Amino acid sequence: MSDWEPKIVAFLCNWCSYEAADLAGISRLQYPPNIRVIRIPCTGRMSPKFILAAFGKGADGVWVSGCHPGDCHYIVGNYYARRKFSLFKDLIEYMGIEPGRLHFSWISAAEGTRFAEVAIKVIKTVKDLGPSKYFIKKINDRVA
Amino acid sequence: MQNPYLPYPVRIEEIITETEDKNLKTFKLVFLNPDDQEKFLYKAGQFAELSVAGKGEVPIGIASSPSEKGYLMFTINKVGLVTTTLHCMKPGDIMGIRGPLGNSYPWDILKGKNVVIIGGGFAFTTLRSAIVYMLDPVNRPNFKKIHVIYGARSPGMLLYKDELAAWEARDDINMHITVDSTEDPTWKYNVGFVPTITEQKAPPGNEDTYAIICGPPIMIKFTQPVLDRLGYCHDKIIMSLEMRMKCGIGMCGRCNIGKEFVCKDGPVFTLAQLNEMPKEY
Amino acid sequence: MLGYLTKIWTISERLLKESKVDMVIGFRKGTVPMMNEPCVVKSPENVKELVWDSNCGINLANYLTDRKEKIAVIAKGCDSRNIVTHIIENKIKRDQLFVIGVPCKGMIDRHKISSMFEKEIIEVIEEENKIIVRGNDCEKIFKKAEVLQENCAICIHRNPVIYDELVAEPVKEQTDIDRYKDVRRIEEMQVEEKNNFFDETLSACIRCYACRNACPLCYCPTCFVDESRPQWLGKSIDPVDIKTFHLLRAFHCAGRCTDCGACQRACPMGINVRIFTKKLEKDCFELYGWEAGMSLDERPPLDTYRPDDPEDFIK
Amino acid sequence: MKIIRIDKKNWAGGLEKLKGSYRLFGPVKDNEFHNFKRLDKDELPDFNYFNTRLSPKSIIYPQSEIMLEYELDENKENHHVMKESKKDYSQRVVIGIRPCDASAFLLVKRNFDTPEYKDPYWIRSYEATTFVGLACNNPQATCFCTSAGCGPFYEDGLDVLLVDAGDHFLAKIISSKGENLLEAAGWDTETDADEQIETMKQEAEARITSFVTTNKLKDKKIIDLFDAPFWEEVAFACINCGTCTYVCPTCWCFDIQDEAYGLCGIRMRNWDSCMFPLFTLHGSGHNPRSTNMQRVRQRFMHKLKYYVDKYNDGIQCVGCGRCIRLCPVNIDIRKICNMMNSYEVQVTSD
């Protein structure tokens, strides 16, 4: 498994982290190519279903990133999201996903450098955990 | 044991966009194995399960006529997962087909009779099959007068426009095409809802005349009293039901109405039969 | 608790006679031991159909969703908290309801009693604090406390939160209860152990959705398991689909669940489904100081926020 | 019919012998209740049970079953073409099935084995299976098999009927399949116990205390029962879960689903339930059975009227009582059956 590379789905808020990723690109900042970005209108739009679907279809890690508290384009979307994520992360880890597979961050549009740094950190953590095994759906022997 | 769940592989030969809203496309399908075509013997009014690997199946009335050889034709409305996938497919793609399924229009009974076909919207597919079948030179002598009343919201929403025009030009079929409304000054046919046109154009009911109706529920609701007034007995009014289906062979249970399974015992019923059944369709 | 019945009849009869309500929603005697059937009584002559005993574990708030009539409903502590949630979530209006409050001493666990009684149970008779279980030519007497539903044993809100009339004086609330012992035990497990525990817990699940449907909180017109575009969940008994279902079902109840136990009581396979909802209940309490259904004036935790909410987990 | 005496000391040995040529399934206690499981080496069926929590229908008709498979990789030959999945249809035996559950398969067979279509999965499984029934010496209070077309010692649907007679079993051979099985197990002590079994049968039948009346169902009009006024009341408590249908040995409805895993996929079927709104939801959004009441009515009408009319051989229920015992809100099919049977249309005089 030495050449194994994790697949990480990143849900990035259109108004901040998504642009930060852009900025990181324009600034030619380096980070490993393990991230697949899905743009969301606001972290408030994130549904736990998206995260579970990503894990179910084989993502080794999921990363959700949005605007710093107080900076939401829709004023309060990320405040609601914060509560939702807090409970969800606790629940899914309670049910047995490894801490370190699911990440959240606040990154503003100006923080290209920070985006690259967090990306490196997220990828490293997920990579250290190895391939996902607990919430991934495969053809199963219970299905005759 | 033959596996009734195993679709015949077919190739999409041609895709025709039928209506101006682009929600209806006609698919011409050709069997990959010629033997399968021999096995697929159908009658107008039957349906088939179209199968898209990885997505599922969808029951669709067969729009081609048994008299048209070498291909099958289905006109599909974009509604759910499978039909949307179908709309995104292209000629040459491989899919599957199971059937023919269900009963058909009662051709034994219709032999030697006047047939009045009343259709609305995109429910005209198996009616097209019936018309093409009856107009086939081999079959035409088996029927007396044929009337067709077919309506859509607007001229652009009519299916099979070229064929409609060709039938208009014939004298062995009485066409009454109508649209709910139109601003097209070149429109030369009827304007008005199907029930109204039926009242004006359909022949009166008698022992020798059968009506086949397919259309949206609202059209059926208002056409039925018209046919009553015209003197059609309920056992001479023939309808085709739509239901959610999965297996298509009367086993999975969901299309059950009363003691009938719409997929196997139907989808074609006379109004007299439907009157005895719970109104759960 | 057995003495409540006459009062329930009197109130119901009065309300129906005076046309204060169109119906009374309560329980009638079941056809098998330890089961009562939720029922509706519309005429004052029929109020004697109503029963009340320790087999009324179904949450009657479940029968109020989107109703338009004026309704009297019999409510235990947990039912009343779900009624509060229903009102907050606009599933029914307060002025449509006449809440007949029942101070509750707990419901008995039929699965537990069955497993503690080797023979077939023919009859279960309830006396104050005593449950007499009879089989063919055998009998066993249990203390009610030993056969309570687990959620009742750890209940700290036995008295209705809202009511229009109480059928008896409030009961003493239980104190010094450790509600989350089982949750903590799992929290302390290693990842592997957790997965084994939940795989084992859910291995019996047949996806009948009794847990979902018995829950007054589950009223979405289209449940996520029934959504087809996209289809979030497969329909088979695949363990990941089952696990995902239970996770999301619990999550949809986050900050709303009152631990009424209806889900667990309904499960035909005896699965401990409360183990999921309780984790969220614990978190909501610890993070936001929230208990569901305690007040009509507070918004549930996922429908509000504080600028200084905890966010240690966010980078 | 031949009766073989099996001493209980020879029981385990015979079963082990059978495992050489059959896959064995039997009731096993799992936590609080019994269910049918594949018996591993040295594992014995546990007969200390009234009936299993779930019916044994899943042995023939699994809750989830792969039917077809396919490749989605366009570079491969025959991509997108379905083919049948390989299955194990080697001989199997269900040991200790209750007579009601075995006779349920005969009812279900009508659905899967029709003159027009044969369901190959169900039929092959069914034909590969030998049913060794365990007579019910002690029926439960919720059992009403005798008025639902079978009984505690009912033989139709079984290949062997086992009767527990204390230190030994009496095995009544009902079919050649059953005879072969006993032979393979090495049980061959013939005995003359017809009378003993008959007496035990009568005693067991006398212990049944619960009944339904079905005699008038056939004569009623579908529409009359369908429009009967009691459905709203019957359905009030129902929460529309699928418990009754999933635990029922005679419920057969299923759903067909495709699942793709990367570039390969399967078409599978899963049990479905008429209790679920999705069961009948049209693509257009229209749902012919959109309300709770309509779905409850469908379940009872199907079992107690439509089936009766369609096959003219009684109700689609064997009286096992599972739905009564496990319904979360205590909806009792016996009550509803009797309501339907005694329902008369009120003739309005105006």
| DSSP secondary structure of D260-298 | EETTEEEEEEEE--TTSGGGG--TTS--TT-SHHHHHHH
Say if C135 falls within a structural domain.
no
**What single string gives the DSSP state of each residue in D140-182?**
-TT--GGGTT--TT--TT-SEEEEE-SSEEEEEE-SHHHHHHH
Same domain assignment for residues C283 and C200: yes
- Taking CA–CA distances from B276, the nearest residue in chain D reads D223
Inter-helix orientation angle D292-301/D333-342, to 10°: 80
Put simply, the answer to whether A143 touches D261 (Cβ < 8 Å) is: no
Whether chains B and A touch (3+ CB pairs under 8 A) is answered by: no
Distance CA B202, CA D181 (A): 69
- Taking CA–CA distances from D336, the nearest residue in chain C reads C31
Specify which residues C73 forms β-bridges with: C25, C99
D261 has a chain A CB within 8 A of its CB: yes
Say if B145 falls within a structural domain.
yes
DSSP class of D13: H
Average pLDDT estimate for C221-231: 90
Distance from CA of B40 to the nearest CA of D (A): 15
At C33, list the tokens.
Answer: 């031991």
Same domain assignment for residues B32 and B134: no
| Residue B190: CATH number of its domain | 3.40.50.80
| Residue B89: CATH number of its domain | 2.40.30.10
Q: What is the pLDDT of residue D30?
A: 82
Specify which residues B179 forms β-bridges with: B152, B191
Contacts of C231 in chain B (CB under 8 A): 81
Does the pLDDT of residue C1 top 70, yes or no?
no
Strand duo B174-179 + B190-191: pairing: parallel
Does the pLDDT of residue D60 top 60, yes or no?
yes
Contacts of B80 in chain D (CB under 8 A): 283
Cβ(D158)–Cβ(D181) below 8 Å? no
- Chain C window 256-295: which residues touch A at a Cβ cutoff of 8 Å? 276, 279-280, 283-284, 287-288
Q: What is the pLDDT of residue C115?
A: 87
Which amino acid, one-letter code, is at B31? Answer: F
Q: Please, what is the average pLDDT of chain A?
A: 94
Which amino acid, one-letter code, is at C71? Answer: I
Cβ(A56)–Cβ(C244) below 8 Å? yes
C307 has a chain A CB within 8 A of its CB: yes
Same domain assignment for residues B214 and B230: yes
Say if C127 falls within a structural domain.
no
**D54 SS3 class:** coil
Same domain assignment for residues C202 and C82: no
Distance CA A67, CA A50 (A): 19
CA distances from B267 to B148, B221, B261, D206 (A): 21, 18, 8, 47
Put simply, the answer to whether A144 touches D261 (Cβ < 8 Å) is: no
| Residue C87: CATH number of its domain | 3.40.50
Point out the domain boundary residue: B86, B101, B116. Answer: B101
Distance CA D344, CA B156 (A): 53
* Residue in this structure with the two tokens 């491969």, named with its chain if needed: D76
Average pLDDT estimate for C200-213: 95
Report pLDDT digits (tens) over C94-116.
999 999 999 999 999 998 998 89
Contacts of A1 (CB under 8 A, 6+ apart): A130, A131
Same domain assignment for residues B134 and B216: yes
Same domain assignment for residues C29 and C164: yes
Contacts of D288 in chain B (CB under 8 A): 243, 257, 280-281
Distance CA B88, CA A64 (A): 31
Distance from CA of B141 to the nearest CA of C (A): 48
B-D Cβ pairs (cutoff 8 Å, strict): 140
- Chains touching A (3+ CB pairs < 8 Å): C, D
Distance CA A95, CA B174 (A): 69
Distance CA B267, CA B101 (A): 9
Nearest-by-Cβ selection for D64 from A137, A138, A143: A143
List the single best residue of B57, B58, B78, B81 to mutate versus C (max C Cβ within 10 A): B81
Contacts of B186 (CB under 8 A, 6+ apart): none
B204 has a chain C CB within 8 A of its CB: no
Contacts of C26 in chain D (CB under 8 A): none
List per-residue pLDDT tens for chain B, 281 residues long: 899 999 999 999 999 999 999 999 999 999 999 999 999 999 999 999 999 999 999 999 999 999 999 999 999 999 999 999 999 999 999 999 998 999 999 999 999 999 999 999 889 999 999 999 999 999 999 999 999 999 999 999 999 999 999 999 999 999 999 999 999 899 999 999 999 999 999 999 999 999 999 998 889 999 999 999 999 999 999 999 999 999 999 999 999 999 999 999 989 999 999 999 999 88
Cβ(B280)–Cβ(D286) below 8 Å? no
Considering chain C, what percentage of its residues have pLDDT values greater than 70? Answer: 99
Put simply, the answer to whether C122 touches D277 (Cβ < 8 Å) is: no
Distance from CA of D159 to the nearest CA of A (A): 25
Q: What is the pLDDT of residue C145?
A: 93
Same domain assignment for residues B125 and B71: no
Residue ranges of chain A with per-residue pLDDT less than 50 = none
D62 has a chain A CB within 8 A of its CB: yes
Distance from CA of C219 to the nearest CA of D (A): 11
Report pLDDT digits (tens) over A71-99.
999 999 999 999 999 999 999 999 999 99
Containing structural domain, residue C7: 1-106+158-176
Nearest-by-Cβ selection for B5 from D67, D284, D294: D67
Contacts of C141 (CB under 8 A, 6+ apart): C130, C131, C132, C133
Domain total in chain C: 2
At D25, list the tokens.
Answer: 């399934």
Same domain assignment for residues B93 and B130: no
DSSP class of B205: P
Put simply, the answer to whether C313 touches A69 (Cβ < 8 Å) is: no
Does the pLDDT of residue D350 top 60, yes or no?
no
- Chains touching D (3+ CB pairs < 8 Å): A, B, C
Contacts of D14 (CB under 8 A, 6+ apart): D6, D185, D186, D187
Distance CA C130, CA C148 (A): 11
At A70, list the tokens.
Answer: 């107080």
Residues in chain C, total: 315
Contacts of A143 in chain D (CB under 8 A): 62, 64-66, 268
Containing structural domain, residue B166: 107-240
Distance CA B59, CA B46 (A): 10
At C150, list the tokens.
Answer: 């687990």
Q: How many CA atoms lie within 13 A of C72 on its CB side?
A: 31
Say if B68 falls within a structural domain.
yes
Which amino acid, one-letter code, is at B273? Answer: Q
Cβ(B263)–Cβ(D289) below 8 Å? no
Distance CA B156, CA B149 (A): 17
Q: What is the pLDDT of residue B47?
A: 96
Q: What is the ipTM of this complex?
A: 0.93
Burial class of residue A136 (count of CB atoms within 10 Å of its CB; 0-12, 13-18, 19+): middle
User: What CATH code is assigned to A8-129?
Assistant: 3.40.50
Give the number of other Cβ atoms within 10 Å of residue A28's Cβ: 8
**What single string gives the DSSP state of each residue in C160-201?**
-SS-SEESSPPPPPP-S--TTHHHHHHHTS-HHHHHHHHHHH
Burial class of residue D176 (count of CB atoms within 10 Å of its CB; 0-12, 13-18, 19+): exposed
Strand duo B256-257 + B260-261: pairing: antiparallel
Contacts of B21 (CB under 8 A, 6+ apart): B156, B157
Distance from CA of B188 to the nearest CA of D (A): 32
Put simply, the answer to whether B251 touches D252 (Cβ < 8 Å) is: yes
Distance CA C2, CA C168 (A): 11
Cβ(C301)–Cβ(A83) below 8 Å? yes
Nearest-by-Cβ selection for B281 from D118, D226, D288: D288
- Chains touching C (3+ CB pairs < 8 Å): A, B, D
Same domain assignment for residues C188 and C306: yes
Distance CA C130, CA C142 (A): 6
Distance CA D14, CA D6 (A): 9
D67 has a chain A CB within 8 A of its CB: no
Distance CA C251, CA D208 (A): 45
- Taking CA–CA distances from B80, the nearest residue in chain C reads C229
Report pLDDT digits (tens) over B70-105.
999 999 999 999 999 999 999 999 999 998 999 999
Report pLDDT digits (tens) over D306-340.
999 999 999 999 999 999 999 999 999 999 999 99
**C230 SS3 class:** coil
Distance CA C30, CA B251 (A): 34
